[in-house]
Amino acid sequence: MIAKERTSLYQNVNRQFDKAASLMGLDMEIRKILRNTTNEVVINFPVKMDDGRVEVFSGYRVQHNNALGPYKGGLRFHPQVDIDEVRSLATWMTWKSAIVGIPLGGAKGGIKMDPSKYSISELERISRRFTYALGNNIGPEYDIPAPDVNTNSQIMAWILDTYLSTQLPHERHRSIHVVTGKPVASGGSIGRDKATGQGVVFTIENWAKDKGFDLNGATYTVQGFGNVGSWASILLKEHGSKLVAVEDVTGAIYRQEGIDPLELSEYVRRTGGVVGYPDSKPIDRKQFLQTEADIFIPAALENQITQETAPNINVKLVAEGANGPTDPDGDMILESRGIDVLPDILCNAGGVIVSYFEWLQNKRSEKWDLDEVDSKLHRIITHGYNRVKEAAREYNTDWRTAAYVCALATLEKVYVERGIFP
């Protein structure tokens, strides 16, 4: 068979978009607007290394749409970061907030770099210099970054401090919501660290309830054991489910009797990866993706479930913790094989939902407790789940297309009501 030329990630986003827009009959003029990003910032900025050398980094911030509220989305530090990837991730952020009904728009950013190659003090200078270079392209009521791949609450604290340091003294505390995913003492929300994994598990619970599927005793595999993958693993185990295989950037492991996700998190903290975890069997990437289980949670990078890998995925449900883990060919194959997919723009929306809670708490000088955060997260993501389920039924379509239909219907209504200026 002649291999098809691989389409870019953003082309995949537009394939998903076009399918939903045609199915629902989205207004042609609004289609033109939503098919494009609004602003794209590319900044090449110099940073002094520990040994005195200067390196120039490329940083990106793409703002897709702010019809529903300020631009919102994470920052990623990874060698694969480029304008095509950031555009795609920014666009998915717009859909996510629209599906679950929170008043935020879509953005994303990142720096093309491998953070494992830099010292902590270099990472701090890179983060701060990028924030400074972004200047007023971000802002608490304009565009609010958050953590993503290889960024965390410490990096958010440096971004916050740099941004506040550039404001007039009497403006500083009014701007603390310029980033979310901050450490709790620096204005972060309780429950933001686990929020994306928690949202993934709430969504799986909803699916299991609808299907009459018992999570107790169910098996699952997880790709990526960082923020999203580790929390989803820990919280799913609380239902009595069994984690049997995990893959991260260091390799993959299998254990039929089950892997304790809390112990594995501790092991990864000490060693930097899952490989070598006691009593587990090393497996290769192909074996990992073919592992038989009830649920697969991709929680690493894009384009993992494709024309090549989808035919051998051996599960009942794919619950997408990562953004874009399944490409359109992969989707078609999963559908033809009767494998359910909880799409990224619904399944991993817990992160942006609790980021929204953090933003609100900062604006109101409040601190919510974990029960309040979790119960509100549960209500909002379940509302999104039910909306998508209803759209899938009404349009007789797959859940990803249904999720797009929900997002596009919300945005279409806003554009029709407001009109196009001037």
Binding footprint of ligand NAD on the chain (CB under 6 A): 147-150, 196, 223-229, 247-249, 299-301, 321-323, 348, 351
Confirm if 211 and 338 have CB atoms less than 8 A apart.
no
Side-by-side strand order, sheet with 106-112:
39-48, 54-65, 106-112, 75-78
Alpha-carbon torsion, ordered 178, 350, 345, 180, to 10 deg:
10
Closest approach of Cβ 180 to ligand NAD, in Å? 9
| Non-local CB neighbours of 329 within 8 Å, separated by 6+ positions | 4, 306, 307, 310
Give whole-number Cα distances, 235 to 88, 198, 230, in Å. 29, 7, 9
In whole angstroms, give the CA distance from residue 388 to residue 339.
17
In angstroms, the CA 19 to CA 267 distance is 43
**Structural contact between residues 340 and 207, judged by C-beta atoms closer than 8 angstroms:** yes
Q: What is the DSSP letter of 142?
A: T
Closer residue to ligand NAD in complex, CB, 21/349:
349
Burial 240-252 (b: 16+ CB within 10 A, else e): ebbbbbbbbeebb
Provide the minimum distance between the beta carbon of 149 and ligand NAD in the complex, in angstroms, as a whole number: 4
Instruction: Provide the 3-class DSSP secondary structure of residue 174.
Output: helix
Nearer to ligand NAD, 24 or 149 (CB): 149
Pick between residue 334 and residue 347 the one whose CB is nearest to ligand NAD. Answer: 347
Which residue lies nearer to ligand NAD by CB, 110 or 140?
110
Closest separation in Å from C-beta 306 to ligand NAD: 13
108 tagged catalytic: yes
Smallest gap from residue 153 Cβ to ligand NAD (A): 10
For residue 309, count other CB atoms closer than 10 A to its CB.
18
Residue 392, number of CB atoms within 10 A of its CB: 18
Q: Kindly tell me which of 75 and 411 has the beta carbon lying closer to ligand NAD.
A: 75
Q: Looking at beta carbons only, is 250 or 382 nearer to ligand NAD? A: 250
- Shortest Cβ 224–ligand NAD spacing (Å): 3
Question: C-beta of 110: minimal distance to ligand NAD in Å?
Answer: 10
DSSP per residue over 302-369, as a string?
Answer: S--BSTTTGGG---SEEE--SSS-B-HHHHHHHHHTT-EEE-HHHHTTHHHHHHHHHHHHHHHT----
Nearer CB in complex with ligand NAD: 223/361: 223
Residue nearest to ligand NAD (CB): 226
Q: Which position among 108, 182, 237, 242 bears the catalytic label? A: 108
Residue 421's contacts (CB-CB under 8 Å, 6 or more residues apart) are: none
Q: Contact, 55 vs 47, CB < 8 A?
A: yes
Q: Which is nearer to ligand NAD, 30 or 228 (CB)?
A: 228
| 3-class DSSP state of 162 | helix
Minimal distance in Å, beta carbon 1 to ligand NAD?
25
Per-residue tokens: 395: 């349009």
Residues forming the active site: 108
